[in-house]
């Protein structure tokens, strides 16, 4: 399996569990479905289906390891540039799992929520997402956030516009705009920042994912393609995290 990591630190504190630091919030950039399929002479849709199975394994692993928040980069704002066929395959797969796997998530105590621009998807899928969020709203074992039609820069822009509207209406002075106020205007304001960001497929970049929120996250880049990502890989990434010294800009102890 492959691996390894660059770094920083994160604005979120991790917990201590069973002798090792456990990240409270893990964010995943799930990359490599297409390459996995092409390497097997399969259609890209087969890679996405196998990748969806890896999502289920990842959720189970997160619960077993004691992670409280798991955020998945399921569909970026840039993914709309892909072929209509591939976008259709992705949205059909999402609809299938909402219909057929939601009860399993609910029984596991998973709360499902969505960030991004779900309004860009067709009405039936938006309604499926709304119902899934409502059904699982009271669950507390794990908060699973799907980033759909999401872009980190767009998230910051909408936060800035929200604050600008408050300044224009006279309810906020521009001098009162702080990092904390902008943070509260982001779509992720009701969750902690990620402790750990994992990207599969060997690529070493954030690709416009949780840019503000990941300012102090630990970053782990793994060579494994997303459809082959399982509990062993998840535990390895957590092990890398546990070995990091997180200083949040301070000097080493």
**Ranges of each domain in the chain:** 15-151+183-223
Q: Which of 228, 181, 170, 215 is nearest to 37 (CA)?
A: 228
100 is in an annotated binding site: no
Q: Kindly list the distances between the CA atom of residue 174 and the CA atoms of 3, 39, 60, in Å, as whole numbers in the listed order.
A: 44, 53, 45
Q: What local confidence, expressed as pLDDT, does residue 4 receive?
A: 45
Active-site residue (options: 57, 79, 208, 223): 79
Q: Is 228 a catalytic residue?
A: no
Q: What local confidence, expressed as pLDDT, does residue 212 receive?
A: 98
Which residues, at least 6 apart from 47, have a Cβ–Cβ distance to it below 8 Å? 32, 33, 34, 35, 36, 37, 38, 227
Q: Is 15-151+183-223 a CATH 3.30.1300.10 domain?
A: no
Instruction: Give dist(CA 159, CA 147) in Å, integer.
Output: 16
Q: What local confidence, expressed as pLDDT, does residue 13 receive?
A: 47
31 is in an annotated binding site: yes
Q: What local confidence, expressed as pLDDT, does residue 45 receive?
A: 92
240 is in an annotated binding site: no
Q: What local confidence, expressed as pLDDT, does residue 10 receive?
A: 34
139 is in an annotated binding site: no
Instruction: Give dist(CA 109, CA 103) in Å, integer.
Output: 10
Instruction: Identify whether the C-beta of residue 126 lies closer than 8 Å to the C-beta of residue 118.
Output: yes
- Could you tell me the pTM of the whole model? 0.88
- Each residue's pLDDT expressed in tens, for the chain with a length of 253 residues: 344 433 333 333 455 444 358 999 999 999 999 999 999 999 999 999 999 999 999 999 999 999 999 999 999 998 898 888 888 888 888 988 999 999 999 999 999 999 999 999 999 999 999 999 999 999 999 999 999 999 999 999 999 999 999 999 999 999 999 999 999 999 999 999 999 999 999 999 999 999 999 999 999 999 999 999 999 999 999 999 999 877 666 655 5
Q: What local confidence, expressed as pLDDT, does residue 228 receive?
A: 97
48 is in an annotated binding site: yes
Q: Is 31 a catalytic residue?
A: yes
């Amino acid at each position: 399996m492959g691996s390894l990591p660059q770094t920083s630190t994160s604005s979120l504190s991790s917990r201590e569990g069973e002798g090792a630091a456990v990240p409270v919030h893990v964010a995943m950039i799930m990359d490599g479905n297409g390459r996995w399929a092409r390497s097997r002479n399969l259609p890209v849709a087969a890679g996405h289906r196998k990748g969806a199975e890896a999502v289920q394994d990842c959720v189970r692993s997160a619960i077993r390891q004691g992670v409280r928040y798991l955020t998945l980069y399921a569909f970026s704002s840039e993914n709309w540039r892909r072929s209509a066929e591939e976008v259709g395959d992705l949205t059909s797969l999402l609809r299938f799992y909402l219909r057929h796997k939601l009860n399993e998530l609910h029984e596991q105590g998973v709360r499902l929520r969505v960030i991004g621009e779900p309004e860009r998807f067709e009405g039936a899928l938006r309604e499926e997402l709304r119902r899934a969020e409502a059904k699982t709203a009271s669950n507390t074992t794990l908060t699973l956030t799907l980033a759909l039609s999401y872009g980190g820069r767009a998230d910051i822009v909408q936060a800035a516009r929200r604050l600008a509207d408050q300044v224009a209406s006279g309810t906020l002075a521009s001098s009162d705009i702080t990092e904390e106020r902008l943070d509260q205007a982001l779509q992720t304001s009701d969750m902690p920042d990620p402790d750990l960001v994992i990207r599969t497929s060997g690529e070493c970049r954030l690709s416009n994912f949780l840019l503000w929120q990941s300012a102090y996250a630990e970053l782990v880049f793994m060579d494994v393609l997303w459809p082959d990502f399982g509990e062993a890989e998840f535990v390895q990434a957590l092990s890398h995290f546990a070995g990091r010294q997180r200083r949040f800009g301070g000097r080493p102890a």
